[in-house]
Chain A
């Protein structure tokens, strides 16, 4: 049998045509379309009905930034760099923080910075959606106030030079920002808080929660701008009983209290005492329920040493479980702002402090726990009144200590330590831990966190403008 080239050519043409028909007869787009039920496309988030979910996402991202789900957040990492917690484990990235010698390529540094910038971006983006869809809603004011807080936290945590960039989720386009000084960030925070206040009727009871959040935020920003008198005015109307709470939950890992996890669930960080010579007493004040931190009892639930098998483990009792709430802003902070203003201006600050101490049972967010750690715990009872020291400097120190104890492990202390240097005039080596580091070497000189190396992917950013307090 022989075959002509013509036969073959016919076959070839037929085959190619058939292939073409096969590939085009079916709707290729339809063939290649696959379902993706697990996630939400951006196009599904532009309706007024999803605003509650978007608002909730702002809260969620803020919780993660402060410390939830994982073990790295603003509260714990700032406590390591400051004087609240000591490194009792093995991960060197957190050791760098405790030792005040942080490398910009530090992975934990990156995690916390990412989370905080993400919380900021989510709040900013959600506020914009509210403006478009429902500008008069209380949710708009709330998310914008939270946005303002994230700018405050960026200024308190990081060096001068934090850029603020924006991403359009629908278009996929970026606008990369330029480095901002701490003052610029705080100025932006104030502007956002002021915008949040616009159109908000403070006389309506339903708005009080957000109105007071804005007030405390303004007070905190103004304090960071070294305007204590303005700050006191800003918070004057905040009731002492007010509290904006980050509610945690055991329900999902992302919602777990991120301070409980690396202190009680796993012994990574021990409560400090006189860390590096300059730190506050914290765990040594064993009669003060606000900072009560007993030695672990040698049980797995409360090991006597940290995860490094050597550092004595003193366990915080403020957050007793995964669902323990965290006070993000409250009336106590408002009163402490007023007290600081008075102390710095020579006024009668002590009555404010003592009034708070007398009301301790109603003001602490929760009694200490868990029960296994409490055989020798102080009672949840009014604290004895303080006596004013002789000098104004000591009086200011007293206010700062009260701030540290009332707001123990809430992410306030690092900012306060920086303010002691730049606003009160203390030397950095008299505020931060110094000298020989207990695990070898010596303390470094960091008084804030550097912006992580990954930010150099922003061509507008090279490095911190400075590492000043």
Chain B
């Protein structure tokens, strides 16, 4: 122990902590905390000497003891979620004990909730922080209803947007805090777990499965979470520096509490069903109209062909629904078994948890197996030294199906298939069933065999993830505290896919068989050291100063190997015979930082904080590699604590707050450099390859620096009617400058595509708030309602210019980055109008003139044009939901029945229904808009306008209302639970995605087929979220 003390002292000295004389043994503060209503002891209350980090948690009997307290008079505060914080004065005499008992009032007093800063490790009450920090604690969501962190975050907190990647297990979701911040760089928030920067990559799969990617965010087990703090923008995240402009999701995992060991065991069983309809006429039925041409020949008879008279006599409108013919879906299911134990002594506390989770997806090859282990141990090594160690391990095996933009995908195979239910019997009747590949396909794209052939292909991702860290808090003086935090997040990823030979008959390569595997190791190290001094300036002013530094090192080591022509019976690279390929990719980003923060508290009601962070990073351009400064300033004023404040008999608390801060978004690895890629070249007939170096891309920029976001926010928190109503409201504006733009270089330069330049500006402003109302609060029945509202407006201010030459709008697909429009706005020619001028019951492009400088290839002339398009590309809508409202209802009855309901509304977004467009366009069309003259003209025009080059008709309103969660928990009466020797037993039944109301014509307006992309937002043959039911049993003893 002595060695440890000296070693620690040496370490802190090296990090700038002025080492004071060691504290001699002092007195102690002891006491007990009870509930004012029932007089019962309250456990897990954080009792702390105000102005210091010294303190602890109460035991199960409500008692606590803070040892090693020097002589003096102290203010001691007790705080716990669900109770109003309380303070008591205590005077400690020489080696004596002072008693400070607390009687807590139950209150949802948002201002006394305690937060822990991931940047500095310090704790603070909400009232002390000028920026809005939303909090989700584990008691506010039904753990049975959520399977991953994204579901926990969705619709519970204002300012947080979660767009679903689809209904496939393990698929990443797109998470944005207060809308986008960057055009080119990641918009994913920074993830900090127990103070350590953690891998949060949403584009995490070495091979393609059609569009879906996986996310490391969802590695976090919701069962381990104590609470989540969402810092939504730079006003709150300045101390996190470069990488925090998109906000920070800060997770604190469960901790041990002094007292007897408390065991918890839980188990779950669930089912999951697809919501893809088997035979919806619009979305899942394939069509083809057959007829006779001018010479009587059998021809395809699309609507346009009928107008052009290349089909003279429409004959039969064939249709079939492949999913009804042969469903690729199944009922998915899940099982979960977890156990945890927590307890400890005053010296050592522990939390140990473990969980097994199995899930089978709704499509054959999809499934997930996860094992989570966690140990969080805290120890008071000395009276003024505390160590907390956290270690967690995840073993995950995820099997993904092919989907989205792949012929072999589940939806694609059916929705892009033919209109003929080709079976051995129908071949005699339908000519097209005797033509080539469609002979036995039953409406699927596949050749002669059922769609399930694709399921023998495996796409698997294995994750071994170890997160470990240690925090040392050293308090050599009552007014001085040092924190040293170090740890790592080590992700070992193994991606593999296999196409066994002679089993998949999609094309030549699939028959040959192939094997691919990639291994990636991504360690992230964080070391943070801070010292904080607090001191009084007179009796009413308390000042605190924090000085710190941080070092992060994020690396990635990736290798892959693949080949083709696989020996039957093998599933290894060893069995390959051709097209061997290897790849290696390494990256490393090092960031160093310094932090300085000064806070002042006036009468414990007015708080002012000024801070500065300095960052430098290896990814800054070599010519701009200097420290970047991120200043911040915030103020919080609990105005209702002023004696003069009129409360009108209803206002309990009112706080005004404001904050301004800057944070950064760094360039990605190698973005500043121009480089050449090594490639192999064959120069002889004998296949003798030589090495070559071709220029890689994008072109480097030695002046590259981080994007800077400055955010200003202001708002208020309130608590009314004796705690029955509380809420918050915030208005914010964030302005990002030096946005990296992939300046598209003229291809005539002969280089790869673009060059990233710090050029552009973007602004996002919005309003957000939440209100919690205890509508009914009776002993045997209660009803509480929470409403959260978010609305924001995003706009690119300017793309910038180079040498007075404005950067041209950056168009990608049907979206654009253009000044004056939201980032990634939908942008295409608009359908201005249409009418059936010739009364033939068909809307077609025939006879329409040239538009927008493009010729209409089928202009016949002589008739009236039936479709009017705008000449130029126009703004068609925002790809991001700009309005979100969620309603969380909580009912309880008879003290042992609880019901929760979550309803989620999102509006303001459009979604490119590329599934429907693809099924109604060009040579592949099999949808009713293209073939069926009974389709409404409003549908026909979508297909016809697409043939003229615009997707306007298929960029649809994606507003929706969803009954997202419904849960019911029965807490078994204590007497009954005792029979089972349980201290608590409950049963929960939860359901997700029970009902959807929307005008969107695809399967689900929330899906996006490629969540790894920053802005590309499209529904392209994407599997929609299913409907799930879960039954859970919690058993505590």
Shortest Cβ gap from A8 to chain B (Å): 5
Q: Closest chain A residue to B16 by CB distance?
A: A18
Residues of A within 8 A of B745 (CB): 167, 174, 457
Contact pick for B679, options A99, A250, A252, CB 8 Å: A252
Residues 295-308 of chain B: 1 if any A CB is under 8 Å from the residue's CB, otherwise 0?
Answer: 00000101011001
Residues 530-550 of chain B: 1 if any A CB is under 8 Å from the residue's CB, otherwise 0?
Answer: 010101110000010101110
Report yes or no: A53 in contact with B746, Cβ–Cβ below 8 A.
Answer: no
Q: Closest chain B residue to A119 by CB distance?
A: B750
Report yes or no: A39 in contact with B678, Cβ–Cβ below 8 A.
Answer: yes
Report yes or no: B585 in contact with A38, Cβ–Cβ below 8 A.
Answer: yes
Report yes or no: A45 in contact with B676, Cβ–Cβ below 8 A.
Answer: yes
Known A16-B596, A35-B586, A265-B507; 14 more pairs at CB < 8 Å: A15-B545, A20-B594, A36-B675, A39-B675, A53-B690, A90-B416, A122-B750, A165-B749, A177-B748, A247-B685, A301-B511, A443-B857, A455-B747, A461-B746
Q: Closest chain B residue to A113 by CB distance?
A: B747
Q: What are 8 sample pairs from A and B whose C-beta atoms fall under 8 A apart? A: A28-B592, A40-B676, A57-B681, A125-B750, A249-B687, A251-B682, A266-B507, A440-B304
Report yes or no: A22 in contact with B15, Cβ–Cβ below 8 A.
Answer: yes
Report yes or no: A117 in contact with B750, Cβ–Cβ below 8 A.
Answer: yes
Report yes or no: A105 in contact with B680, Cβ–Cβ below 8 A.
Answer: no
How far does the alpha carbon of A23 sit from the alpha carbon of B547 in the complex, in Å? Answer: 12
Shortest Cβ gap from B628 to chain A (Å): 13
Report yes or no: B676 in contact with A114, Cβ–Cβ below 8 A.
Answer: no
Contact pick for A34, options B438, B589, B592, B918, CB 8 Å: B589
Report yes or no: A300 in contact with B510, Cβ–Cβ below 8 A.
Answer: yes
Residues 672-693 of chain B: 1 if any A CB is under 8 Å from the residue's CB, otherwise 0?
Answer: 0111111111111101011111
Shortest 4 CB-CB contacts between residues of A and residues of B = A121-B750, A18-B16, A304-B436, A458-B746
**A322 touching B436 in the complex, CB below 8 Å, given contacts A164-B748, A176-B748:** no
Q: Which of B594, B670, B923 has the most CB of A within 10 A?
A: B923
Shortest Cβ gap from B106 to chain A (Å): 35
Residues 179-221 of chain B: 1 if any A CB is under 8 Å from the residue's CB, otherwise 0?
Answer: 0000000000000000000000000000000000000000000
Q: How many residues of B contact A (CB 8 A)?
A: 115
How far does the alpha carbon of A248 sit from the alpha carbon of B673 in the complex, in Å? Answer: 31
How far does the alpha carbon of A28 sit from the alpha carbon of B537 in the complex, in Å? Answer: 38
Shortest Cβ gap from A407 to chain B (Å): 20
How far does the alpha carbon of A135 sit from the alpha carbon of B811 in the complex, in Å? Answer: 43
Report yes or no: A15 in contact with B578, Cβ–Cβ below 8 A.
Answer: no
B858 is an interface residue with CB less than 8 A from chain A: yes
**A60 touching B857 in the complex, CB below 8 Å, given contacts A32-B592, A164-B748, A440-B947:** no
Residues of B within 8 A of A19 (CB): 16, 547-549, 594, 596
Residues 407-440 of chain B: 1 if any A CB is under 8 Å from the residue's CB, otherwise 0?
Answer: 1000000001110000000000000000111110
How far does the alpha carbon of A29 sit from the alpha carbon of B511 in the complex, in Å? Answer: 53
Residues of A within 8 A of B447 (CB): 300, 303
How far does the alpha carbon of A439 sit from the alpha carbon of B311 in the complex, in Å? Answer: 12
How far does the alpha carbon of A441 sit from the alpha carbon of B435 in the complex, in Å? Answer: 24
Residues of B within 8 A of A95 (CB): 922-923
**A31 touching B590 in the complex, CB below 8 Å, given contacts A8-B533, A8-B545:** yes
Q: How many residues of A contact B (CB 8 A)?
A: 125
Shortest Cβ gap from B307 to chain A (Å): 10
Report yes or no: A252 in contact with B680, Cβ–Cβ below 8 A.
Answer: yes
Report yes or no: A40 in contact with B750, Cβ–Cβ below 8 A.
Answer: no
B997 is an interface residue with CB less than 8 A from chain A: no
Report yes or no: A304 in contact with B435, Cβ–Cβ below 8 A.
Answer: yes
B864 is an interface residue with CB less than 8 A from chain A: no
B979 is an interface residue with CB less than 8 A from chain A: no
Contact pick for A250, options B437, B510, B579, B585, CB 8 Å: B579
Shortest Cβ gap from A28 to chain B (Å): 6
How far does the alpha carbon of A189 sit from the alpha carbon of B694 in the complex, in Å? Answer: 22
How far does the alpha carbon of A129 sit from the alpha carbon of B547 in the complex, in Å? Answer: 53
Residues 441-456 of chain A: 1 if any B CB is under 8 Å from the residue's CB, otherwise 0?
Answer: 1111100000011111
Report yes or no: A1 in contact with B70, Cβ–Cβ below 8 A.
Answer: yes
B855 is an interface residue with CB less than 8 A from chain A: yes
A201 is an interface residue with CB less than 8 A from chain B: no
Q: Closest chain B residue to A254 by CB distance?
A: B679
Report yes or no: A5 in contact with B16, Cβ–Cβ below 8 A.
Answer: no
B175 is an interface residue with CB less than 8 A from chain A: no
Report yes or no: B417 in contact with A309, Cβ–Cβ below 8 A.
Answer: yes
Report yes or no: A11 in contact with B750, Cβ–Cβ below 8 A.
Answer: no
Report yes or no: A163 in contact with B746, Cβ–Cβ below 8 A.
Answer: yes
Report yes or no: A92 in contact with B437, Cβ–Cβ below 8 A.
Answer: no
How far does the alpha carbon of A169 sit from the alpha carbon of B751 in the complex, in Å? Answer: 9
Residues 238-255 of chain A: 1 if any B CB is under 8 Å from the residue's CB, otherwise 0?
Answer: 000000010111111111
How far does the alpha carbon of A172 sit from the alpha carbon of B672 in the complex, in Å? Answer: 11
Report yes or no: B579 in contact with A322, Cβ–Cβ below 8 A.
Answer: yes
Residues of B within 8 A of A453 (CB): 811
B478 is an interface residue with CB less than 8 A from chain A: yes
Report yes or no: A60 in contact with B679, Cβ–Cβ below 8 A.
Answer: yes
A56 is an interface residue with CB less than 8 A from chain B: yes
Report yes or no: B478 in contact with A436, Cβ–Cβ below 8 A.
Answer: no
The interface-forming segment of B359-367, B697-705, B888-896 is: B697-705
Shortest Cβ gap from A364 to chain B (Å): 15
Residues 215-238 of chain A: 1 if any B CB is under 8 Å from the residue's CB, otherwise 0?
Answer: 000000000000000000000000
How far does the alpha carbon of A357 sit from the alpha carbon of B620 in the complex, in Å? Answer: 63
Contact pick for A300, options B505, B536, B702, B744, CB 8 Å: B505
Report yes or no: A59 in contact with B692, Cβ–Cβ below 8 A.
Answer: yes
How far does the alpha carbon of A249 sit from the alpha carbon of B535 in the complex, in Å? Answer: 74
Report yes or no: B693 in contact with A251, Cβ–Cβ below 8 A.
Answer: no
Q: Closest chain B residue to A41 by CB distance?
A: B675
Residues of A within 8 A of B748 (CB): 117, 162-165, 176-177, 455, 458, 461
**A3 touching B536 in the complex, CB below 8 Å, given contacts A249-B682, A266-B507, A300-B511:** yes
